[in-house]
């Protein structure tokens, strides 16, 4: 049987990120010419090898640690050097720091030996300047188009230059230092890499971090640790487009998705609203600037539609550079604008985006429902785009209970909830800014609720539940999945229906792993390491936790939050994109999904969402009110968050172990209101 090209595994690699650059390496710090290892900058691998040797030997790795956004340290031992005996006396520390145009690394050799240590330190460097697409596909990259001269590599518009002060440079790109280390001293050398890429689509933001960094204390210390690591990762994922107004957004994830993604960037910004509205405003503006204006089957574009993904032209083989194959990005854009308005985004900034809102609602009215049945569906008409265009966008993700795959066009369950929510959110914004159409969209939402109730509900092993989707023949796709959790808190469900959905989400079939499984264990397609049919996604779990809390189901929310916090602890508080959906009792820790991105924007934002669900701060700045609705009974224990933001105000929330809560810092324009559960 011929070998297949396999996507490189990521789970055991260490990432250092400062967007648009990222480095993936072995736990030792070595960057070897294998798999996805290397440094990527704006979707080009600008360093494919950085292999460190002492006396021609690799040091033995013992530790690595993040030192903040864009900085990682690696510690190894050179046990053949120094004093004899069991205790190592020569250690090597590599501190890798990403900078806006490249990488700086220091290498420190420290000796506690009784006599002088002499050694040769060598570093083999190479750059294949490969686009990210063939690397992701597992195809061989030979670097044949690269021109090298000394420590300079170039191909097309990209040039990479390495420098190594004080080192000798071999013809093959290896640099060497001869070191003499006196007893109980250290010697440090350094090298640098700089990248010139005038064609890069994305750049590092030119402004400071857009959100606050709250001080979090909690009885469950996992929550505060997760929040801290999450905020470091989110800071490292900030991007702006090279062309445009410089608006900041969050790149979706490392290594494959470090660019503008409609759905991912929107969800991440929405999840960060408790820390401020600036990243939401930047995300809304940059996506509005690329909003669809024409019908184009090849790109999936339609007037008013929000794009799915923006890449440099040579970054991927099968999708257009500007690709619109997402059925939900437009709806999520509308709801982010609404929620940012509620959280205190300036009325002038909101009003400037109302024309884009009207265009987005126009897409919902004229293009989202191609067959006129009242539900939003998708189908890839180009033949080379994504077969599935919701957040579960793998080709095999939409399955019936018996495991058979649904055929397009497909109407996803959560998308109908997003449409209902977007219609009401759009109506509120149109009314507030004196634009016509509010009554039309409220009527649309009312009719959607009736249609949905009559069409989507099916019977399952655990009782009635909304189907995953309708297939091309309008048959309910009857698998029980996490998608139904996204309906909670939208208003689409009645209180009784919400309670039934909450019970199912907290059942062992969906919640028996470390968070919320994407598909229940009762379904034939369930597999714990299926990308979308049994795995656990951090963002999916956190969003559903928050929606359960908002809908008044604290026990179910606490069950899922507990699983996700246990997973966070296992992953050193850097939640990956997804992980295995194995039962919590089997191994005691989650099984990594070996190709998961980490860090990833909405996975990192999950830490903020868990914090928000715990404290329950829900403002409506235009109405002049703030609701404080922490999880009843404080199932996550006492939590204090100081430095949350509503508009320009810094807000502190203290939740006691008994569930009591206080808020301080509210401006005079805001009054505390009783919480409302849908």
- Span 26-76, pLDDT tens digits: 999 999 999 999 999 999 999 999 999 999 999 999 999 999 999 999 999
The pLDDT of residue 319 is 85
Q: Please report, for residues 288, 308, 427, 441, 464, the alpha-carbon distance to residue 354 in angstroms, rounded to integers and kept in the order given.
A: 10, 21, 11, 15, 39
DSSP run (H or E) holding 135:
helix 132-136
Lookup result for tokens 């061989």? 140
Q: What was the pLDDT predicted at 236?
A: 97
| Structure-block tokens of residue 634 | 């404080």
Length reported for the chain:
678
Stretches in the chain below the pLDDT threshold 70: 1-3, 314-317, 674-678
Q: What pLDDT, on a 0 to 100 scale, did the predictor assign at position 140?
A: 85
242 DSSP assignment: S
Q: What tokens appear for 253 in the block?
A: 């994830």
- 517 closest CA partner among 590, 623, 568: 590
| Rounded Cα–Cα distance for residues 151 and 126 (Å) | 8
CB 483 within 8 A of CB 413: yes
Residue 346 CB burial class (10 angstroms; 0-12, 13-18, ≥19)? middle
CB 226 within 8 A of CB 610: yes
Question: What does the pLDDT read at residue 677?
Answer: 45
Placement of tokens 């994504």 in the chain: 386
Rounded CA separation 108/119 (Å): 13
Hunting for tokens 């072995």 — which residue is that?
26
In angstroms, the CA 434 to CA 416 distance is 27
Q: What is the pLDDT of residue 243?
A: 92
* Burial class of residue 85, CB neighbours in 10 A (0-12, 13-18, 19+): exposed
Retrieve residue 95's tokens: 């501190």
Q: If we measure between CA atoms, which residue out of 110, 116, 106 comes closest to residue 189?
A: 106
pLDDT score at 1: 47
pLDDT at 316: 60
Give how far Cα 75 sits from Cα of 105, 464, 598, Å.
13, 55, 21
Closest residue by Cα to residue 541 from 585, 581, 569: 581
Alpha-carbon distances, residue 408 vs 386, 390, 538 (angstroms):
11, 12, 27
CA distance 416 to 505: 19
Give dist(CA 54, CA 120) in Å, integer.
6
**What is the C-alpha to C-alpha distance for residues 335 and 338, in angstroms, rounded to an integer?**
5
- All domains in the chain, ordered by first residue: 14-200 (2.70.98.40), 203-639+647-653 (1.50.10.10)
425 and 444 Cβ atoms separated by less than 8 Å: no
CA 36 to each of CA 22, 103, 165, 367: distance values in angstroms, whole numbers, following the listed order:
11, 18, 28, 39
Q: For 303, list phi and psi in degrees, rounded to 5.
A: -55, 130
Nearest Cα to 155, choosing from 138, 131, 132? 131
- Helix or strand or coil: residue 366? helix
621 by DSSP, 3-state: which? helix
- Other Cβ atoms less than 10 A from the Cβ of 354: the count is 17
What's the angle, vertex CA 12, arms to CA 191 and CA 392, rounded to 5?
A: 115
Contact predicate 18/99, CB 8 Å = yes
The partner residues of 17 in beta bridges, in order of sequence, read 22
pLDDT tens-digit readout, 215-265: 999 999 999 999 999 999 999 999 999 998 899 999 999 999 999 999 999
pLDDT of residue 144: 83
């Amino acid at each position: 049987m011929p070998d297949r090209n396999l996507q490189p595994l990521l789970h055991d690699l260490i990432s250092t990120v400062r967007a648009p650059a990222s480095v993936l390496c072995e736990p030792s710090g070595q960057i070897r010419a294998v798999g996805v290892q290397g440094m990527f900058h704006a979707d080009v691998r600008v360093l494919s090898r950085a292999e460190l040797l002492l006396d021609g030997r690799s040091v033995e790795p013992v530790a690595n640690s993040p030192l903040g956004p864009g900085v990682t340290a690696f510690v190894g031992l050179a046990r053949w050097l120094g004093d004899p005996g069991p205790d190592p006396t020569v250690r090597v520390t590599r501190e890798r720091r990403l900078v806006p145009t490249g990488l700086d690394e220091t290498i420190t050799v420290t000796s506690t030996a009784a006599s002088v240590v002499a050694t040769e330190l060598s570093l083999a460097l190479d750059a294949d300047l490969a686009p990210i697409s063939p690397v992701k596909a597992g195809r061989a990259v030979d670097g044949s188009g690269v021109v090298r001269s000394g420590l300079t590599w170039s191909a097309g518009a990209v040039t990479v230059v390495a420098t190594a002060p004080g080192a000798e440079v071999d013809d093959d790109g290896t640099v060497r230092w001869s070191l003499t280390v006196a007893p109980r001293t250290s010697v440090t050398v350094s090298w640098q890499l700089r990248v010139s890429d005038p064609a890069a689509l994305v750049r590092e933001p030119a402004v400071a971090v857009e959100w606050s960094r709250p001080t979090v204390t909690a009885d469950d210390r996992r929550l505060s640790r997760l929040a801290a690591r999450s905020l470091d990762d989110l800071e490292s994922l900030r991007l702006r487009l090279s062309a445009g107004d410089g608006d900041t957004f969050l790149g979706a994830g490392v290594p494959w998705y470090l660019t503008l993604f409609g759905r991912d960037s929107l969800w991440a910004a929405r999840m960060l609203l408790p820390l401020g509205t600036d990243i939401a405003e930047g995300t809304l503006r940059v996506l509005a600037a690329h909003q669809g204006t024409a019908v184009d089957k090849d790109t999936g574009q339609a007037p008013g539609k929000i794009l799915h993904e923006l890449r440099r032209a040579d970054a991927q083989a099968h999708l257009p550079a500007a690709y619109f194959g997402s059925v939900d990005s437009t709806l999520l854009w509308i709801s982010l604008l609404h929620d940012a308005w509620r959280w205190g985004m300036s009325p002038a900034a909101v009003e400037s985006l109302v024309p884009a809102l009207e265009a987005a609602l126009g897409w919902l009215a004229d293009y989202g429902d191609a067959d006129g049945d009242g539900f939003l569906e998708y189908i890839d008409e180009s033949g080379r785009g994504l077969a599935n265009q919701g957040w579960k966008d793998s080709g095999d993700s939409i399955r019936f209970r018996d495991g058979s795959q649904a055929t397009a066009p497909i109407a996803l369950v959560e998308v109908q909830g997003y449409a209902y929510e977007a219609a009401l959110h759009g109506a509120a914004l149109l009314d507030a800014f004196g634009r016509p159409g509010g009554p039309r969209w409220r009527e649309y939402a009312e009719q959607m609720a009736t249609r949905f109730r009559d069409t989507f509900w099916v019977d399952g092993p655990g009782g009635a539940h909304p189907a995953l989707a309708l297939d091309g023949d309008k048959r309910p796709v009857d698998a029980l999945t996490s998608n139904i959790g996204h309906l909670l808190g939208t208003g689409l469900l009645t209180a009784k229906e919400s309670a039934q959905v909450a019970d199912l989400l907290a059942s062992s079939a969906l919640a028996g792993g470390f968070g919320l499984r994407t598909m229940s264990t009762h379904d034939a397609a369930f597999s714990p390491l299926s990308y979308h049919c049994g795995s656990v996604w951090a963002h999916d779990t956190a969003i559903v936790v928050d929606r359960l809390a908002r809908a008044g189901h604290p026990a179910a929310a606490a069950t899922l939050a507990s699983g996700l916090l246990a997973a966070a602890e296992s992953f050193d508080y850097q939640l990956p994109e997804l992980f295995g959906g194995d039962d919590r009792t089997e191994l005691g820790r989650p099984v990594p999904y070996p190709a998961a991105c980490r860090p990833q924007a909405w996975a990192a934002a999950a830490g903020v969402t868990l914090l928000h669900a715990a404290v329950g701060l829900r403002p409506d700045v235009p109405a002049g009110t703030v609701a404080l609705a922490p999880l009843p009974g404080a199932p996550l224990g006492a939590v204090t968050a100081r430095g949350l933001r509503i508009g320009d105000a810094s807000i502190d929330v203290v939740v006691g172990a008994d569930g009591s809560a206080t808020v301080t810092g509210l401006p005079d324009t805001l009054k505390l209101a009783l919480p409302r559960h849908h």
